[in-house]
Structures are given as C-alpha cells and as structure tokens.
Amino acid sequence: MAPIGLSSRAPFAFSPDQRKKAIDGGKKPRGTDITKTAAASMRRIVFPTFRTVDEERHHMRQRLAAAFRVWAEHGFDSGNAGHATFRDPEFADCYWVNPIGVHFSNITAGDLCMLNQAGEMIVGNRPVLSATFAIHGGIYRTSPHIRAAVHTHSDNGVAFSALGKVLEPISQDACAFYQRQALFDQYEGPVLDVSEGEIYGKIINEKRARLVILQNHGLLAVGETVDEMAYNFIFADKCCKVQMLAEAAGKTIKLPHEVAVQTGQLFNPKFMWVQFQPLYYRLLNRDPSFLSEDESKGLDFMANIPARIAFGRKESGSPRHSGHGTTMQAKPNL
Ligand SMILES: [Zn+2]
C-alpha cells in the first residue's frame, strides 16, 4: 500500500510522441482564435437533465440547500435575516424557501418548505420569514423567467447599499453586472407587502437585472437556475467589496462602455452556473449532510409558539395582505 497522501498509481508522464506534438505545436504560427476555443469549451458543459419533474425538484432542493451552506462560508448569514427560494418546476406559482431559526450552515434539503402565492404552506410545517412571501412571491408573479432568488444582509452588500448607487465597471468582474443591475432607493421599513416584491420583479424585467441593490438594506440576486442565482449573489457581494476598497484607496478608472458591454456578455447565465460548480463539489466532498431529507435540529425554542401569533399572520383581509405572516398548516408532501 502506498503511504498516506501518495498515490499507488504510476506517476504521470508524457510519451515521446506527446512531448514532440506539444513542442511542435508551440512552433506553429500564432493566431489561434481563443474565443472559439472558449466557446467550444462552454459547449461541452451541459446543464443536468431530468427524466421526471420529481427528479428536477429533488435536484433543485439539494442545490438550494448547498447554496445556503456555501453562503454561510462567505459569512452571508445574519441572524434570521436572509432567505432564498426557487420556483417549483411543476407548480409555477409555488416556491421553496428556507425556514427561519436554522443557520445557513445547517440547512438540509429536508428543511426547505414550499409556499404558494396565497402564502399557504404546501410542503413543510416550519415557520418562514414574513418578508419571504412579500419579496419572493412578488418577484415570481411578475418575472416568469426567474427561477431562483436570494436576499441576505451580507456585510459588503449592506455597506454598499448605503451608498445609494450601482456597481461601476471598474474591473472585469464588475462587468457581470454592467447594465444588468438596478437600484431600489425607496426603503420604507421591513418588506411586509407583496406590492414591493412586485416592484422588484418589474425592475428585474425592465433592466434585465440579475442584481437589485436595495438601498439602506442589502442585495437581491436572481437567476434562471439555483446555481446561477447562488453565484450571482457571491459575485455581487465580492464586487461591492472591491469597489468600496478601490474608492477608499483613490480615484477609480472605469472601463469604456463598449468594453464593459462586451465583457459583460461573457458572464451569461450558463457561465455563472459553471462558476458555482467548484463550490458545490468542494462542499459535497467535505460534508454531504446538506443532501439529507431530515429536518435539521435547533427549532426547539419555538416549538410551542403558535406561528400565526408569533409572526403576525392576519386572519382576514384581501389576499394581497393576508399572507404576510407565517402559516404552520402542513399539507401532504408531494
Ligand atoms: Zn432584508
């Protein structure tokens, strides 16, 4: 047996033919179209396919649970603030969300709950944050192409949001959000009305935005897949940090409009989906417990509290305002 840390396989080595081919290749005239090579590489990457909608749902639940764990590694958790969702692949009016009281780093696929547009819990029996229904419900109702969304109070996101401006194209990375972002500058308190979520959705549609900066509040990122959405948020938070660092150090230099547009096109949804894969598999290799269908422990402190009282669910009123709170009504699992 090989010593620990060493492979028992023979060490890698080029054959004489391979070595000659590599050396000869270096003598060929330059002029290879790198963009074609890159495009060919991207074509080799294919999104997962599913035989049934149940398989797709299962996949999305696992990916969202993984996203929370990855975000926890980035320090994006903040008490009970922070929620992320994906649109159910079968029931387009329904979406899956994390319950409150579970740290991002502990979330499992089994923790996620499914709500409908009336704010009723279709799957699960754990409390969810009122703002989830107000924000995500409005987005899914007004943005048919959006399949996943996240909002957290990350440090960089909250700090940048206080500046009342959008990300500037001061780096290659920041071009990912050039003309793909918007600023919502009308903070009037915690989001408790679905009409505000609908405004976010309309902004996302009008601006083709993948990022909305909620002034004095934090960041909201969306995506066409859970993986893209997860990485959009990570990337946006990073760009916020970089811009604040650069502006604190001196005068920044913006890339020209044409360069920013062209560079931004590279950061398409598929590209951003790809960026999440190393993070996903790093987590999977280290701690696959997020795949569990069991609910995580830790909600004992609210076991005896009627959720509709604790979180202010209104018992009457128009549908527009009746589902802001939490419901604990469990229905049969799908
Ligand atoms: Zn918030």
CA of 156 to the centre of ligand 1 (A): 14
82 C-alpha to ligand 1 centroid (Å): 6
* DSSP per residue, 68-93: HHHHHHTT--BTTB-EEEEE-SS-TT
Cβ-based burial of 66 (10 A; exposed 0-12, middle 13-18, buried ≥19): buried
Handedness of CA 138, 267, 60, 158 (dihedral sign): negative
Write the pLDDT tens digit of every residue in 149-196.
Answer: 999 999 999 999 999 999 999 999 999 999 999 999 988 877 777 788
Q: Can you name the residues that pair with 223 across neighbouring β-strands?
A: 148
Strand pairing report for 181-184 and 211-214: parallel
Kindly give the distance from the C-alpha atom of residue 326 to the centroid of ligand 1, in angstroms, as a whole number.
16
Q: How far is the CA of 21 from the centre of ligand 1 (A)?
A: 57
Cα separation, 138 vs 314, whole angstroms: 18
In the numeric block, the tokens 């329904």 are attached to 94
Q: How far is the CA of 260 from the centre of ligand 1 (A)?
A: 30
Most confidently modeled of 7-16, 20-29, 88-97, 122-131?
Answer: 88-97
Q: Are 118 and 102 in contact (CB under 8 A)?
A: no
CA of 27 from ligand 1 middle (Å) equals: 57
Tell how far the Cα of 217 is from the centroid of ligand 1, in angstroms: 6
- 285-318 pLDDT, tens digit per residue, is 999 999 999 988 766 666 544 443 233 333 333 3
pLDDT higher than threshold 60 for residue 5: no
The mean pLDDT value for 130-135 works out to 86
What pLDDT shows up at residue 316? 32
- Measured distance CA(132)–CA(194) in Å, rounded: 9
- pLDDT score of 329: 33
CA of 255 to the centre of ligand 1 (A): 31
Task: Say what the pLDDT of residue 131 is.
Answer: 83
Lowest average pLDDT, out of 14-18, 60-64, 197-201, 318-322, goes to 318-322
Residue range 60-98, pLDDT digits in tens: 999 999 999 999 999 999 888 899 999 999 999 999 999
- pLDDT grade for 210, boundaries at 50, 70 and 90: very high
Is the pLDDT at 100 greater than 80? The verdict is yes
Q: Separation of 131 CA from ligand 1 center, angstroms? A: 7
Classify residue 112 by its DSSP letter.
-
pLDDT bracket for residue 44 (50, 70, 90)? confident
Longest pairwise C-alpha distance within the chain? 79
Instruction: Give the Å distance between the CA of 221 and the centre of ligand 1.
Output: 12
Q: How far is the CA of 145 from the centre of ligand 1 (A)?
A: 23
Spell out the residues 6+ positions from residue 234 whose beta carbon is closer than 8 angstroms to its own. 70, 71, 74, 276, 279
Tell how far the Cα of 120 is from the centroid of ligand 1, in angstroms.
Answer: 21
Average pLDDT over residues 22-26: 69
DSSP state letter for 312: T
CA of 274 to the centre of ligand 1 (A): 27
DSSP bridge pairs for 121: 115
Distance CA 167, CA 112 (A): 32
Q: Measure the CA–CA gap between 138 and 99, rounded to whole angstroms.
A: 19
Kindly report the backbone phi and psi dihedral angles of residue 258, in degrees, each rounded to the nearest multiple of 5, phi listed first: -60, -40
State in Å: Cα 36 to ligand 1 middle: 42
Q: What's residue 27's pLDDT? A: 62
Would the pLDDT of 126 be above 70? yes
Q: How far is the CA of 288 from the centre of ligand 1 (A)?
A: 29
CA of 43 to the centre of ligand 1 (A): 37
CA of 196 to the centre of ligand 1 (A): 12
Mean pLDDT of all residues belonging to the chain: 85
Is 14 within 8 Å of 22 (Cβ atoms)?
yes
- Ligand 1 centroid vs 191 CA: distance in angstroms? 7
- pTM, full prediction: 0.82
Give residue 218 CA to ligand 1 midpoint distance, Å: 6
Measured in Å, residue 161 CA sits from the centre of ligand 1 at 12
More confident residue, 282 or 298: 282
Q: Is the pLDDT of residue 330 over 70?
A: no
CA of 252 to the centre of ligand 1 (A): 29
Which residues 6+ apart lie within 8 Å of 206 measured at CB? 182
**Domains of the chain listed by start with CATH number:** 53-291 (3.40.225.10)
Centroid of ligand 1 to alpha carbon of 11 (angstroms): 52
Separation of CA 37 and ligand 1 centre (Å): 42
What is the predicted pLDDT for the residue at 138?
Answer: 92
Q: With left for phi above 0 and alpha for psi between -120 and 50, is residue 223 left, alpha or beta?
A: beta
Q: Give percent of the chain with pLDDT exceeding 70.
A: 83
Confidence of residue 133 (pLDDT cuts 50, 70, 90): confident
Tokens at residue 183, please? 């600023």
Measured in Å, residue 283 CA sits from the centre of ligand 1 at: 26
Q: Residue 86 C-alpha to ligand 1 middle, in angstroms?
A: 17
Mean pLDDT across 34-58:
85
- Exposure string of 268-296, with b = 16+ CB inside 10 Å and e = fewer, is ebbbbbbbbeebbeebeeeeeebeeeebb
